[in-house]
Amino acid sequence: MVEDARRREAAGAAAVESHSAGLRRELGLFDLVLKQVMFIVGAQWVGTAAMLGHAQVFYWLLAMALFYLPQAAVVIHLNRLMPLEGGLYQWAKLGFNDGVGFLVAWNLWVFALILLSSYGLVIADTFSYALGSGAAWFTSTKWYDGAVTGFVVATIILVSLYWLRVGKWVHDAGGMAHLITFGALLLMPLVAISHHAITNYHPFAVAVPRASLLSVNIFSKLALGALTGFEYVAILAGETRDPGRAIGRSVMIATPIIALMFILGTGAVLSATPIGKIDLIAPIPQALTLGLHSFGFAVYIVPVLTMLLLTRHIANVNLLFAANTRLPLVAGW
């Protein structure tokens, strides 16, 4: 029985590889690392974690130990076994059966719908920070959120029509923009401290956590929300050069980068924003605005950084959409 299952799995993998042969191999290791960082490091999560105060380091490390690192190990292992277009869908289909594969694909679609709807609000809120208070007449209207969301959806559909020939560059731009924005966020407390604008910055302070419904709620969001996504890039394995090695290496390279971005980014938000006043939708633009408000250059720098963050949000939604368009494709093979 085991041998029969292995033969079916091998035959199924061979069929997928034969169909994938016609796909353009657009993605290399650098592209994959940028995608991992861009997709996993959600800007809003540093605001959510900041609600824990200095206990955030403990909860981040606990979430990484219990979910993040095991998830990374599983993705690396399964991708080496089955580096196939469709990723998680193919792993479930070939490892179990068509029914399980269908349920996995269906859940990915539902996840995408929920995330796309929430990103509409995130993008609209971030864009309002970039426009500044002078545009309140526009950003406070009833149709503002809907108009921004509609524009974003139309844009990602247009980009996806050209597959990764265009999408690759959109994602790379989003990944680089995200790294630059986070770099500025991490430098912000240091600049502010040097000019005595901030006095409370302890990025690695570890407070003894208090067990409460709030802390358990936020911990579950960090573990099962913020620290997920390594499996998503594997959906594009058929469009990756040497996917069996490249995707696994991208996970190993991105893992420590992502961990530092989350922990240090949360510390930076805490240094500039009182816990009770954190904007949970757009905490980074808020922290940059508050942390640099006493500097004359902030009026120019903060909108630029906010637009870079906006670039990341749009690129991230495009990656989410592009990956989900592959699922009905591979299901029909």
250-253's contacts with Cβ under 8 Å and 24+ in sequence apart are 250/29, 250/32, 250/33, 250/35, 250/36, 251/36, 251/72, 251/75, 251/76, 252/72, 252/76, 253/29, 253/33
Q: Report pTM.
A: 0.88
- Domain residue limits at 228: 2-331
Two tokens, residue 174? 């989003």
Tens digits of residue pLDDT in 13-67: 777 777 777 788 999 999 999 999 999 999 899 999 999 998 999 999 999 999 9
Q: Which of 133-147, 180-194, 297-311, 317-331 has the lowest mean pLDDT?
A: 133-147
Among 93, 145, 137, CA closest to 119? 145
Comparing 35 with 297, the larger pLDDT belongs to 35
Tens digits of residue pLDDT in 81-113: 999 999 999 999 998 999 999 999 999 989 888
Q: How many CB atoms lie within 10 A of CB 227?
A: 25
Domain count, the chain: 1
Tens digits of residue pLDDT in 232-290: 899 999 999 999 999 999 999 999 999 999 999 999 999 999 998 999 988 998 999 88
At 151, the amino acid letter reads F
Q: What's the confidence (pLDDT) of residue 226?
A: 92
At 269, the amino acid letter reads V
Angle between helices 88-95 and 298-331 (to 10 degrees): 30
Two tokens, residue 185? 């966020």
Torsions phi, psi of 240, nearest 5?
-115, 140
Q: What is the spatial distance between Cα 321 and Cα 23, in angstroms, rounded to a whole number?
A: 18
Task: Classify each residue of 289-312 as buried b or exposed e, where b means 16 or more C-beta atoms within 10 Å of its C-beta.
Answer: bbbbeebeebeeebbebbbbbbbb
Whichever domain contains 258, its CATH number is 1.20.1740.10
Q: What's the confidence (pLDDT) of residue 118?
A: 84
